[in-house]
Amino acid sequence: MELKFEFEKFTIGRDKLLNIEMIEKSGERNLVLEVDNDWIINAKYVK
């Protein structure tokens, strides 16, 4: 599975994290991805 998210360019404070949570309907598997400011700033443009 491949997921791509598209946002207008933005930044967050150096001491902040962007949390992306994916929760399975049955609740057995949950995924939390913590994204820091460096990931956002260095993100590549996807066509």
Tens-place pLDDT, residues 32-44: 999 998 888 888 8
Nearest of 8, 15, 16 to residue 43 by alpha carbon:
8
pLDDT of residue 5: 79
Cα 37 to Cα 12: distance, rounded to the nearest angstrom: 6
Residue 2, pLDDT score? 81
Q: What is the pTM of this model?
A: 0.61
Tell me the pLDDT tens digit for each residue of 4-23.
878 887 888 889 999 999 89
Intra-chain end-to-end CA distance of the chain, in Å: 18
SS3 38: helix
